[in-house]
Structure 1
Amino acid sequence: MKNRWGILMMAIMVGAIIIKSLYTAGTAAMADAAYSAEAASSRMQLRQLLAASEGLIQGSRQATVKWQGEWHTMLSLEAAGERLADRLGLADRYTEKVHGNQVFYAEGASGVAEDVIHGKLALTLQEEGSYYVILRLENGTDESLQRLPEAGESWGELLLREGVRAKWNAALQGEAAGVVSAPDWPDFWQNDSAGAGEANPVPTLAAFAKLESRMKEQLKLRAAESFADERTVSRTYTAEDLPIKARSAGQEISLQLALHWNTESERYDVSIGAPLLTVEY
């Protein structure tokens, strides 16, 4: 009888170990699937932006993809930075003091000649066991721009699998296509609400309206928040067909469009951000 109970207990223990192993494997598989899905969403959203930007930007398009967020690890700054740099294949590594804090950087390029994508990693210690990670990717040419969605997906998934709580954002920038140049409009407009010599942003708003109309032909957008002055217009939108969103002013924002008159180059520059612009415009 005692032997039977012993055998039964061993069977129960073995079963528990098997169940725990299956649960652990299942949890890991679910996490991997979630990472892959999140990274794949970034690729799809950037592809949508590239298609929508074709009628808004003329000439070369400069793209910036970022994955950024917190990473909890007890590794030292250099060890943590080396680990992520190894995963991402970034060979040029160094540290610099920024605003009194040591920052680990790693840089590198993917591709050759006309197909280069530049990558830069920045790792900053927030407090013991907590780092803030920023991975920035940029296209070198129009050719490498077409490869950027897949590169961003791949490198972003690597960060997610390392446990970095990274969120994706992207920006496309270039010269605005098909808008009247600012010199063709008067610098100052007068109306009932503007005093003598007070700048009125009507010309820039008119140019922005043209670009917004073209964008709405590609995406289902609903305006959320806006800003305008005599040289810059910026507006955020909700969009059902763009999966990655950011919470702002109580709304789920998917896209930001901005137009700015560049006084140095004397042209309008357009910036498209998803879900929000995190680059200078």
Structure 2
Amino acid sequence: MYIKREIIKVLLLVFSIGVILIGLGLNTSEAQESNKGDKRLESLIEWGKELVDTPLKVVVKWQGEWSNEGKKSTLEVAQQLAINMELSLPQVVSNTDHVTYRSITSVNGITVIFHWQVLSEEKSYMIVTLESHEASQQSSLLHLQNRIQTQINLMNMKAEWNASVQGNVIEGQSIANTMADVETKLQSHLEFSQVESYQDEMTLSHSYRAPMLNFNLVSGDHYMDLQTAVHHDEILGENRITIGFPIITVEF
């Protein structure tokens, strides 16, 4: 009788663990499926390939705050998140005003920088950056973006992402004419209206409202979803095009 009760206990324990694992698997699967419907990064890469003559640089960045609920230390959370993202474990790189942990991982030729800054015992700030330089890495980049976004969702972190593509056009024309070409080609893919502009001798930048992209970044008294920039590289004699959403966070 005693042995039978023990067997039942073991079976119940195995069943409970199985239910938990199935639940975790379903949560991960649901998060992954919800991300697959977001084609904005894929579209941005395709637009970039249409516009530049040189290899396309793609940068994707997540930034967000994590709040401690008292269950784990900030280091434990940072390490677990990096493991779940299949990245190298972060190490201490700074201990001045705020303790900062960082790791750099190469995933199929894509550089992934994981940055975790401890603001207080209750709050930390995370930045994860992906950088790709080859068109052949597009599939790996999209898969990696989905993986990282899934883990951020599962952590219930308040994180926003932005992306940019960049490359040069070789033909020697003015930055204004290059910008006109960029906008003409983009208009074949989405509707947008200009809301901001910046210009100096070597650079021209426009920001737009593009409801289809649905980023809705507040800037002054309007929303922004997309930004373009053209910069003349005097050394190469070429114009560098950058397209990003909702704003460009890399150097023009």
User: What pairs with 1:1-281 in structure 2 (closer than 5 Å)?
Assistant: 37=34, 39-40=35-36, 43-73=38-68, 74=70, 75-97=72-94, 100-111=97-108, 116-176=109-169, 179-181=171-173, 203-281=174-252
Work out the percentage of aligned pairs sharing the same amino acid: 23
Structure 1 gap ranges (5+) = 1-24, 182-202
SS of match in other structure, 1:151: helix
Q: CA deviation at 1:243?
A: 3.0
Instruction: State the Cα deviation string for residues 86-116 of structure 1 (Å, max 9, x = none).
Output: 11111253211276332111222323xxxx2
For the pair shown, the structure with the greater C-alpha radius of gyration is 1
The whole-number CA distance in structure 2 between the counterparts of 1:176 and 1:254 is 24
Q: CA deviation at 1:154?
A: 1.9
User: Structure 1 pair 118/241, CA: closer, same or farther in 2 (3 Å)?
Assistant: same
**What is the TM-score when the length of structure 2 is the normalising length?**
0.80
The whole-number CA distance in structure 2 between the counterparts of 1:140 and 1:56 is 15
User: What RMSD, in angstroms, separates the aligned Cα atoms of the two structures?
Assistant: 2.5
User: Structure 1 pair 34/145, CA: closer, same or farther in 2 (3 Å)?
Assistant: closer
The whole-number CA distance in structure 2 between the counterparts of 1:263 and 1:101 is 39
The whole-number CA distance in structure 2 between the counterparts of 1:262 and 1:98 is 38
How many aligned residue pairs are there? 226
SS of match in other structure, 2:185: helix
SS of match in other structure, 1:265: coil
The whole-number CA distance in structure 1 between the counterparts of 2:221 and 2:36 is 26
Q: CA deviation at 1:220?
A: 1.2
**What is the TM-score when the length of structure 1 is the normalising length?**
0.72
Instruction: State the Cα deviation string for residues 126-177 of structure 1 (Å, max 9, x = none).
Output: 2221111111112252211243223212211111211221111101011136
* Structure 1 runs (4+) greater than 3 angstroms displaced: 31-37, 74-77
Instruction: State the Cα deviation string for residues 29-49 of structure 1 (Å, max 9, x = none).
Output: 7x9857853x345x4101111
Contact kept, 8 Å, 2:31 with 2:150, in 1: the verdict is no
SS of match in other structure, 1:55: helix
